Protein backbone atom coordinates (compact mmCIF):
# COMPACT_ATOMS: atom_id res chain seq x y z
CA UNK A 1 0.00 0.00 0.00
CA UNK A 2 1.42 3.36 -1.01
CA UNK A 3 0.99 5.96 1.71
CA UNK A 4 3.54 8.45 0.45
CA UNK A 5 3.92 10.19 -2.88
CA UNK A 6 3.84 8.83 -6.42
CA UNK A 7 5.98 10.70 -8.96
CA UNK A 8 5.61 10.15 -12.72
CA UNK A 9 8.47 11.17 -14.99
CA UNK A 10 8.02 12.70 -18.42
CA UNK A 11 10.06 11.19 -21.26
CA UNK A 12 12.63 13.99 -20.95
CA UNK A 13 12.86 13.63 -17.16
CA UNK A 14 13.22 9.86 -17.46
CA UNK A 15 16.11 10.29 -19.91
CA UNK A 16 17.83 12.82 -17.62
CA UNK A 17 17.31 10.64 -14.53
CA UNK A 18 18.66 7.52 -16.25
CA UNK A 19 21.69 9.52 -17.39
CA UNK A 20 22.48 10.35 -13.75
CA UNK A 21 22.65 6.62 -13.04
CA UNK A 22 24.70 5.92 -16.15
CA UNK A 23 27.23 8.61 -15.21
CA UNK A 24 27.39 7.20 -11.68
CA UNK A 25 28.18 3.77 -13.12
CA UNK A 26 30.95 5.21 -15.31
CA UNK A 27 32.42 7.01 -12.31
CA UNK A 28 32.17 3.84 -10.24
CA UNK A 29 34.06 1.93 -12.91
CA UNK A 30 37.11 4.08 -12.22
CA UNK A 31 37.13 2.73 -8.66
CA UNK A 32 37.31 -0.84 -9.95
CA UNK A 33 40.24 -2.48 -11.62
CA UNK A 34 40.81 -1.58 -15.26
CA UNK A 35 39.84 -5.11 -16.28
CA UNK A 36 36.46 -5.03 -14.51
CA UNK A 37 33.40 -5.69 -16.68
CA UNK A 38 30.88 -2.98 -15.70
CA UNK A 39 28.04 -4.89 -17.32
CA UNK A 40 28.30 -7.47 -14.52
CA UNK A 41 26.94 -6.83 -11.03
CA UNK A 42 29.27 -6.30 -8.11
CA UNK A 43 27.35 -8.93 -6.12
CA UNK A 44 24.63 -11.44 -6.77
CA UNK A 45 22.19 -12.35 -4.02
CA UNK A 46 19.69 -15.08 -4.87
CA UNK A 47 20.02 -14.24 -8.54
CA UNK A 48 19.29 -10.53 -8.02
CA UNK A 49 21.77 -8.06 -9.52
CA UNK A 50 23.19 -5.70 -6.95
CA UNK A 51 25.52 -2.85 -7.80
CA UNK A 52 25.35 -3.19 -11.57
CA UNK A 53 24.29 -0.59 -14.12
CA UNK A 54 20.56 -1.15 -13.45
CA UNK A 55 21.14 -0.49 -9.75
CA UNK A 56 22.88 2.83 -10.48
CA UNK A 57 20.15 3.89 -12.91
CA UNK A 58 17.48 2.97 -10.35
CA UNK A 59 19.23 5.15 -7.78
CA UNK A 60 19.51 8.07 -10.19
CA UNK A 61 15.83 7.79 -11.09
CA UNK A 62 14.79 7.65 -7.41
CA UNK A 63 16.88 10.72 -6.59
CA UNK A 64 15.50 12.62 -9.58
CA UNK A 65 11.90 11.75 -8.70
CA UNK A 66 12.39 12.71 -5.06
CA UNK A 67 13.76 16.09 -6.12
CA UNK A 68 10.79 16.69 -8.42
CA UNK A 69 8.47 16.27 -5.44
CA UNK A 70 9.94 19.57 -4.19
CA UNK A 71 10.21 21.27 -7.58
CA UNK A 72 13.95 20.56 -7.67
CA UNK A 73 15.67 19.31 -10.81
CA UNK A 74 18.35 16.90 -9.62
CA UNK A 75 21.56 16.59 -11.62
CA UNK A 76 24.64 14.40 -11.54
CA UNK A 77 27.55 15.48 -9.39
CA UNK A 78 30.86 13.70 -8.86
CA UNK A 79 30.88 11.44 -5.82
CA UNK A 80 31.54 13.16 -2.52
CA UNK A 81 31.32 10.89 0.56
CA UNK A 82 30.31 13.85 2.73
CA UNK A 83 27.47 15.05 0.48
CA UNK A 84 23.83 14.02 0.82
CA UNK A 85 21.98 12.67 -2.22
CA UNK A 86 19.25 15.29 -2.82
CA UNK A 87 18.42 18.48 -0.91
CA UNK A 88 20.10 17.16 2.24
CA UNK A 89 18.37 13.75 2.20
CA UNK A 90 19.74 10.26 1.61
CA UNK A 91 17.67 8.36 -0.94
CA UNK A 92 17.45 4.56 -0.93
CA UNK A 93 15.60 2.66 -3.60
CA UNK A 94 14.55 -0.76 -4.78
CA UNK A 95 12.54 -2.31 -7.59
CA UNK A 96 10.69 -4.51 -5.07
CA UNK A 97 7.29 -3.18 -3.96
CA UNK A 98 7.59 -5.10 -0.67
CA UNK A 99 11.18 -3.99 -0.12
CA UNK A 100 12.74 -2.45 2.97
CA UNK A 101 14.66 0.74 3.66
CA UNK A 102 18.23 -0.57 3.70
CA UNK A 103 21.01 1.25 5.51
CA UNK A 104 24.54 0.13 6.32
CA UNK A 105 26.62 0.22 9.45
CA UNK A 106 29.08 2.53 7.69
CA UNK A 107 26.43 5.08 6.55
CA UNK A 108 26.60 8.60 7.98
CA UNK A 109 23.83 10.24 10.00
CA UNK A 110 20.97 11.66 8.06
CA UNK A 111 17.37 11.39 6.95
CA UNK A 112 16.92 8.27 4.80
CA UNK A 113 14.00 8.24 2.35
CA UNK A 114 12.72 4.98 0.88
CA UNK A 115 11.58 4.82 -2.77
CA UNK A 116 10.36 2.06 -5.07
CA UNK A 117 11.15 2.54 -8.76
CA UNK A 118 9.27 0.65 -11.44
CA UNK A 119 11.46 -1.48 -13.69
CA UNK A 120 10.73 0.74 -16.71
CA UNK A 121 11.85 3.85 -14.78
CA UNK A 122 8.64 5.86 -15.31
CA UNK A 123 7.25 5.86 -11.74
CA UNK A 124 8.82 6.50 -8.35
CA UNK A 125 6.81 5.68 -5.23
CA UNK A 126 8.21 7.55 -2.24
CA UNK A 127 7.01 5.61 0.79
CA UNK A 128 8.49 7.18 3.91
CA UNK A 129 11.62 7.88 5.90
CA UNK A 130 13.68 7.21 9.02
CA UNK A 131 16.82 8.63 10.54
CA UNK A 132 19.88 6.41 10.42
CA UNK A 133 19.75 5.99 14.20
CA UNK A 134 16.14 4.78 13.96
CA UNK A 135 17.03 2.13 11.39
CA UNK A 136 19.79 0.52 13.44
CA UNK A 137 17.61 -1.45 15.89
CA UNK A 138 16.29 -3.40 12.88
CA UNK A 139 19.52 -5.36 12.45
CA UNK A 140 19.02 -7.59 9.46
CA UNK A 141 22.17 -9.50 8.55
CA UNK A 142 25.73 -9.29 7.47
CA UNK A 143 25.76 -9.14 3.70
CA UNK A 144 28.28 -8.37 1.01
CA UNK A 145 30.86 -6.07 2.61
CA UNK A 146 29.12 -4.72 5.69
CA UNK A 147 26.35 -5.09 8.24
CA UNK A 148 23.05 -3.88 6.83
CA UNK A 149 19.80 -2.85 8.48
CA UNK A 150 16.45 -3.43 6.80
CA UNK A 151 13.55 -1.35 8.07
CA UNK A 152 10.12 -2.62 6.94
CA UNK A 153 7.81 -0.16 5.18
CA UNK A 154 5.31 -0.38 8.06
CA UNK A 155 7.94 1.15 10.38
CA UNK A 156 8.69 4.18 8.18
CA UNK A 157 7.55 7.65 9.14
CA UNK A 158 5.11 9.26 6.66
CA UNK A 159 6.38 11.94 4.30
CA UNK A 160 4.12 14.49 5.99
CA UNK A 161 6.50 14.30 8.99
CA UNK A 162 9.71 14.60 6.94
CA UNK A 163 11.75 17.43 8.50
CA UNK A 164 12.92 20.16 6.18
CA UNK A 165 16.70 20.21 5.74
CA UNK A 166 18.75 23.39 5.40
CA UNK A 167 19.23 22.53 1.72
CA UNK A 168 15.47 22.16 1.16
CA UNK A 169 14.77 25.47 2.91
CA UNK A 170 17.40 27.19 0.76
CA UNK A 171 15.85 25.68 -2.37
CA UNK A 172 12.39 26.86 -1.33
CA UNK A 173 13.62 30.39 -0.62
CA UNK A 174 15.34 30.45 -4.02
CA UNK A 175 12.10 29.35 -5.69
CA UNK A 176 10.17 32.14 -3.96
CA UNK A 177 12.73 34.84 -4.75
CA UNK A 178 12.91 33.89 -8.45
CA UNK A 179 9.11 33.90 -8.74
CA UNK A 180 8.65 37.40 -7.32
- pLDDT value of residue 177: 64
- pLDDT value of residue 40: 47
For 39-67, what is each residue's pLDDT tens digit?
A: 544 444 444 445 577 888 999 999 999 99
- Nearest residue to 17 (alpha-carbon basis) of 168, 115, 121, 127: 121
What's the domain range around 167?
5-178
Query: How far is Cα 55 from Cα 176, in angstroms, rounded to an integer?
Result: 35
Sequence-distant (≥ 6) Cβ neighbours of residue 23 within 8 angstroms:
60, 76
Q: What is the DSSP letter of 169?
A: H
Please, what sign has the CA dihedral across residues 1, 67, 30, 119?
A: positive
- pLDDT value of residue 45: 44
Whether the predicted pLDDT of 127 surpasses 60: yes
Query: How far is Cα 36 from Cα 53, in angstroms, rounded to an integer?
Result: 13
More confident residue, 33 or 116: 116
Compute the average pLDDT of residues 89-112.
Answer: 92
For 142-170, what is each residue's pLDDT tens digit?
A: 555 667 888 999 999 999 999 999 999 99
| The dihedral formed by the CA atoms of 151, 88, 62 and 150, expressed in degrees to the nearest 10 | -10
Count of domains forming the chain: 1
Highest mean pLDDT among 27-31, 75-79, 140-144: 75-79
**Range list of H helices, the chain:** 11-29, 53-69, 132-135, 166-178
- Nearest residue to 130 (alpha-carbon basis) of 104, 105, 110, 115: 110
- pLDDT value of residue 7: 95
- pLDDT value of residue 143: 57
Query: How far is Cα 166 from Cα 173, in angstroms, rounded to an integer?
Result: 11
C-beta pairs of 27-36 under 8 Å, 24+ apart in sequence: 27/78, 27/79, 28/56
- pLDDT value of residue 78: 80
Average pLDDT, the chain: 83
- Nearest residue to 153 (alpha-carbon basis) of 91, 100, 106, 96: 100
- pLDDT value of residue 119: 92
Query: How far is Cα 124 from Cα 105, in angstroms, rounded to an integer?
Result: 26
Amino acid sequence: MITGHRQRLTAEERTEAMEIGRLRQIENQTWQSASADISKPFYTKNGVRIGGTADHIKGGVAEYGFGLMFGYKHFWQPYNPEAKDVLGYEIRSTFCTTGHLVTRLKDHNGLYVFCVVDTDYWWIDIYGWRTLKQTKPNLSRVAWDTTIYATPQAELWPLELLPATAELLLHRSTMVSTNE
